[in-house]
Amino acid sequence: MNNILRKQITKHMFTVCIEGNIGSGKSSSLKHLSDKYDKVMTSCEPMDRWLDLRGHNMMEMLYKDLTRNAFSFEHFSQLTRLEMFANSYNTADDSKRIRLMERSIYSARHCFTQNLYNGGHLSKPEFLIIDEWFKWLSAKPCLKPDLVIYLRTTPQTVFSRIQSRSRSEEMEIPIEYLQQLHELHDNWLLDENRSNESPQVLTFDADLPQKQLFSLLDQNLDQIFKEILL
């Protein structure tokens, strides 16, 4: 835990990214932690922007035709995630010491963009354009998270949750797509060869009932957050 805390000294806020597959419980976990710690600011995924770009539902368009709409969605997603991060700086006050973010430019690149490219939905030039943007952005120290919370689920669990919550934009998502994202999240976050410069990853079994998951989050994060909030 100490190596996590050392990084906070040189940054205005300690940044925690909550990562995981679609339907893994990121939004509810973000809200739980926000309610528990009053000196924490939260940044949710800019879903409202994706659902309404001047009258265009970008997410619905993506899942209806991945090949046609992958590049425009990934490009717009990267922009809105950057805006989300910038806005968290602009609206921050001195009482907020921890920033909790739902996903990041890193999962966008290593999981979602990579998956679309692997599936042939992004051409090589399209993939390289997004990757060039990512390389430029990820070189900025202020965009690097200090800690990643990985809500790890099985594809079967998140598929059932997606079907239960019945968001119209997500009903086209096949379980194979979720399996691919699951493998990419594991490859990215559980890789034993991750560099020492990579943020520490805390992995939680998000197949568990919500109450049990929240209890585990509290047990593991209390020490870290209390040290920062002193």
For 3-31, the pLDDT digits (tens) are 544 444 345 688 999 999 999 999 999 99
Is residue 46 within 8 A of residue 179, CB to CB? The reply is no
Q: Average pLDDT in the 83-107 region?
A: 83
Query: Of the ranges 48-57, 89-98, 177-186, which one carries the lowest mean pLDDT score?
Result: 89-98
Sign of CA dihedral 74, 80, 83, 87: negative
| pLDDT in the model for residue 3 | 53
| pLDDT in the model for residue 30 | 96
Confidence label for 193 from pLDDT (cuts 50, 70 and 90): low
Is residue 4 within 8 A of residue 149, CB to CB? The reply is no
**What share of the chain in percent tops pLDDT 90?**
71
Is residue 85 within 8 A of residue 101, CB to CB? The reply is yes
Whether 141 has a pLDDT exceeding 70, the answer reads: yes
Compute the mean pLDDT over every residue in the chain, rounded to the nearest whole number: 90
The CATH architecture to which 2-229 belongs is 3-Layer(aba) Sandwich (3.40)
C-alpha closest to that of 107 among 64, 78, 129, 83: 78
In this prediction the pTM is 0.90
Which one of the listed residues 60, 74, 102, 126 is annotated catalytic?
102
Binding residues: 20-28, 161-165
102 is an active site residue:
yes
Confidence label for 195 from pLDDT (cuts 50, 70 and 90): low
Binding residues for ATP: 20-28, 161-165
**What share of the chain in percent tops pLDDT 70?**
90
| pLDDT in the model for residue 7 | 46
Q: Average pLDDT in the 208-224 region?
A: 95
- Residue 195 neighbours by CB under 8 Å, 6+ apart: none
CA distance 217 to 208: 12
| pLDDT in the model for residue 167 | 87
Question: Does residue 3 or residue 57 have the better pLDDT?
Answer: 57
Question: Does residue 140 or residue 153 have the better pLDDT?
Answer: 153
C-alpha closest to that of 207 among 152, 162, 150: 152
Q: Average pLDDT in the 59-82 region?
A: 95
